[in-house]
Structure 1
Amino acid sequence: MKTKQFVLIVIVVFLTFHSYCQPSVLSLKKIEKNFLKINDTLLAYKYETSNELYNFFLSKQTISNFDYSLLKIDSTNWRLLKYSNEPYAQYYHLHPAYLKYPVVNISYEGAISFCKWLTEYYNNYPKRKYKKVEIRLPSSKEWDMLFCKVEFQVSNKQTNNYISPIDKYKNGYKFFNVLENVKEMTNTKGHAKGGDWKNGTDVSNIDYQYNEVSTPFIGFRFFIIIIEK
């Protein structure tokens, strides 16, 4: 009897935790409010893309999707670091405490697919501000345009040795974490911009080339191109 009760408790706890960790309903109106102007036709998202937002995207995909393996998060990358990151490997991408942290350990293909999905999702939203947009990773030049807006509001060579929430460092012009938290992918595969939580920030060297499929140091910020107002 006690065994059955214990099993029941475990099941209830699991279901409660599982339900609590499911992505919340996506508020496009709230996301839209965080579109900030770069120029008349180019906007950028105020924050790095969060675990919460990327997990919502994943929840709309099917495992039978032929490229799902390229979309999913590879939490095992945390274990490749020299120091112990087992708690991150187990909880970072799923626990509610990390919903507002930047998604990392994702592939370039995953980021591209997310942007395509969000483009379609937004353009089908009846209460949207813009009639038609394209959401995508920025070119290196577009990212530099964002950097120019916040260049004098960032700390040079700043590092905390731990990853921070997406709203941790405000850089001026209302953007957050342009350099201080995770490097940000561009639309060129294997090329990212900015600094990261482990290696810090050097405003004289913001370009980064990488060969890894995914790492704990690289995430992305999506940009919005206004096609039709």
Structure 2
Amino acid sequence: MKKVTIIPLLVFLFSVLNTQAQSYDAFVKKVNETYLSIPNTQFCASMCECTNEDYQVFLAASPENKQYIYDSAGWNFSPYFKDAQVYNEPLTRVYYQHQAYKTFPVVNVSQESATAYCAWLTQVYNSNPNRKYKKVEFRLPTEKDWIQAATGNLPEPNEKKVFPWRGLTFKDKKGLYLANFASVGEYNIKRNASGQLIYDTLGFGSDLGSDGAIYSTRCVGNYPPNDFGLYHMAGNVSEYTSVTGQTKGGSYISPGHYLLLKSNDPEFPNMEKGGAFIGFRPFMYIQEK
């Protein structure tokens, strides 16, 4: 009878599991530090949108998670913008692999994939001894919760906010943009023969560059946070809510109207399947402290 030695195999498996546990220790520590409590609620919101780096941890966690891989072909904008003068083809090769993009928001993932990420994160977090809270659930926020997190503090009883920041403009006192979005300059707006206002798409890109991004995302934390310390609650990428196909916050391709707190992003066909301008921000709902 052939003798089978199982000790080396057990040692190997223990080593693999221990290495994975240690990597999750660092991951959970990061979660503890970057999910910020929203006052007068029982939930926390991620400081930033889910990044390529974090999503790669999810994809590598199990073979089953590979089904939720991003669709790099989504960087082709032609289905949405027939006249877009952009060249994003290189991003299909480098956006998810190059180190320069690891802190950029993951895009081209479906709403189902974002939900699966949240379910995986819930399991990882609740099983880790270094977690901050005893039991939580990560999920996509309701529209109401998203708006509450995006609004930030209201120091005056009658104060109203229209953006995640204070004020009624898209720039700070130094004239710097507070978000990346499709900022169509006044010089690009004109009237057609019927008297309707239109914008000149050939001049579109010139003003887009002034906010730091032209038809692309920016690394998370690139613009000032709101009062709660949350970055990119307006602009960068539109963020899934718990409602199928609904996103909030606008993106780098959105005109300024969609950066308003109560605006819903336009509904393109099959929004729930994702796009190069759609990402997500997990919320942590505290069940036991």
Say yes or no: TM over 0.5: yes
Q: TM-score category by the smaller chain?
A: 0.7 to 0.9
Structure 2: how far apart are the matches of 1:158 and 1:88?
18
Structure 1: how far apart are the matches of 2:132 and 2:279?
27
Query: How far apart are residue 129 of structure 1 and its match?
Result: 1.1
Q: Which region of structure 1 is more displaced relative to structure 2, 168-177 or 181-190? A: 168-177
Among 144, 147, 157, which residue is 1:144 paired with?
Answer: 147
Q: For residues 152-163 of structure 1, what are the structure 2 equivalents within 5 Å?
A: 152-153=165-166, 156=170, 158-159=180-181, 160-161=213-214, 162-163=216-217
Unaligned residue ranges in structure 1 (runs of 5+): 1-23
Q: For residues 170-185 of structure 1, what are the structure 2 equivalents within 5 Å?
A: 170-173=224-227, 174-185=229-240
TM superposition score normalised by structure 2: 0.65
- Corresponding position of 2:61: 60
- Corresponding position of 2:32: 32
Query: How far apart are residue 79 of structure 1 and its match?
Result: 2.1
Among 164, 170, 181, which residue is 2:218 paired with?
Answer: 164
Secondary structure at 2:120 match in 1? helix
- Corresponding position of 1:72: 69
Aligned length: 202
Q: Deviations over 1:167-198 (max 9, x none)?
A: 11122321111112100000111000011112
Q: Deviations over 1:10-33 (max 9, x none)?
A: xxxxxxxxxxxxxx9442112211
Verify the 8 A CA contact 2:180 2:236 in the aligned structure 1: no
Q: Which region of structure 1 is more displaced relative to structure 2, 166-175 or 198-207? A: 198-207
- Corresponding position of 2:3: none
Query: How far apart are residue 77 of structure 1 and its match?
Result: 0.9
Root-mean-square deviation over aligned CA pairs: 2.1
- Corresponding position of 1:20: none
Identical-residue share of aligned pairs (%): 33
Higher Rg:
2
Letter in 1 for 2:87: S
- Corresponding position of 1:224: 284
TM superposition score normalised by structure 1: 0.81
- Corresponding position of 2:242: 187
Among 93, 98, 103, which residue is 1:95 paired with?
Answer: 98
